[in-house]
Structure 1
């Protein structure tokens, strides 16, 4: 399947799901999800894969086991692309009734990765490179997010020049566009590809300085 855009029917499907997040709505409209949401997202991810890595589409079902919100279905479709052999640093694209979102970076780090991340941020060569990259993205309209401590990490000075980065336990950049006619066109591919390329340097820094976790699988919580 060649990517040709996200049909308006897909966004309308999500508007309906937000209003009626029930099994009956899902069953009745599942064909719209498959045809106008999941199908186009898979096609987009497949076209991005040669440059940005193996794609994975997320399931539409929410994990409600530990959530107060028991609605069964996600109101967005996301896909993540991760280069083979790169321990950390991924690209993400999402479509919903709110439009299109792209992100890149790391959404969750294990304790050993957080430790390496902070050592690199503290380093007088590697730290300023990340700070400059984050500032470049922020100046270009990207939001910089991630889990953060409210206090100064243990072992670091409260007046550290990169304290804000040291407080991060994960780090990613995001940009979003509201629904518009161009979402229904093949040009979405070029817009997402260009956005991902802007995130490449951030992911490369994370891959080079943080890398994969060494924690045993049963301790990765």
Structure 2
């Protein structure tokens, strides 16, 4: 199983011809590309479940919700899908984005709810050594550059010391690791294996966050 060149080509042409008229004329091409994407995401879940517990995956619809957007093009020019770990004991989620010239995978906590974000920040306030060790791990550096991406505050969150030695982590609003791929890499026969290897590299991070988010500040389970 691999992503077909025709799938990327369809997305490229859709980006250049993002109208309902063009899409209707090329509906058969879309169906073929979508079927290929569905098979790819399903195969990734099978791989994930060899070393994790993923109870479902979701391939997002290609139709855009333009009601509140300045961009009124009706279709996304990418395929995106998420993989959900078994809740509530396993936290964190996987994501794969396929787009010509802009493919990437990601994992972590993009928009954590306020309770989870506060719990993470309090943990980092007490002791950030474990998350620092993960960021310095050679596999995490190899795949994700040893950093988290996403929005962050310009200063300390309310109630936290702006001079705290780990304020760079505490002020983050998201904790997400991202790895980007070229079109050549996406179309390679071993791409699904490479995705799985990168997802495996997230496990120490997910394991730590699962432990944090399922316990209180005394380390007692809240499940």
TM-score range relative to shorter protein: 0.7 to 0.9
Give the Cα–Cα distance (whole angstroms) in 2 for the partners of residues 168 and 131 of structure 1. 14
Deviations 1:181-212 (A, max 9, x none): x5334411111110100111222222221359
Give the Cα–Cα distance (whole angstroms) in 2 for the partners of residues 18 and 48 of structure 1. 26
Deviations 1:41-82 (A, max 9, x none): 222222232244121111111222221111111111011111
Which residue of the partner structure matches residue 176 of structure 2? 172
Deviations 1:156-178 (A, max 9, x none): 22221211111112111011111
Give yes or no for contact 1:41–1:79 (8 Å, CA) kept in 2: no
Task: Give unpaired runs (5+ residues) of structure 2.
Answer: 216-223
Select 2:116's aligned residue among 113, 127, 130.
Answer: 113
Deviations 1:87-142 (A, max 9, x none): 63101111111153111101111111111111111122xx2111221343663252
Select 2:25's aligned residue among 25, 28, 31.
Answer: 28
Give the Cα–Cα distance (whole angstroms) in 1 for the partners of residues 35 and 165 of structure 2. 46
TM-score between the two structures when normalised by the length of structure 1: 0.84
Give the Cα–Cα distance (whole angstroms) in 2 for the partners of residues 133 and 74 of structure 1. 34
Structure 1 SS opposite 2:201? helix
Q: Give the deviation of 1:39 after TM superposition.
A: 2.0
Task: Give unpaired runs (5+ residues) of structure 1.
Answer: 213-221
Which residue of the partner structure matches residue 84 of structure 1? 86
Which residue of the partner structure matches residue 63 of structure 1? 65
Aligned residues: 205
User: Is the aligned partner of 1:45 residue 2:49?
Assistant: no
Which residue of the partner structure matches residue 149 of structure 1? 153
Select 1:72's aligned residue among 74, 92, 99.
Answer: 74
Structure 2 SS opposite 1:26? helix
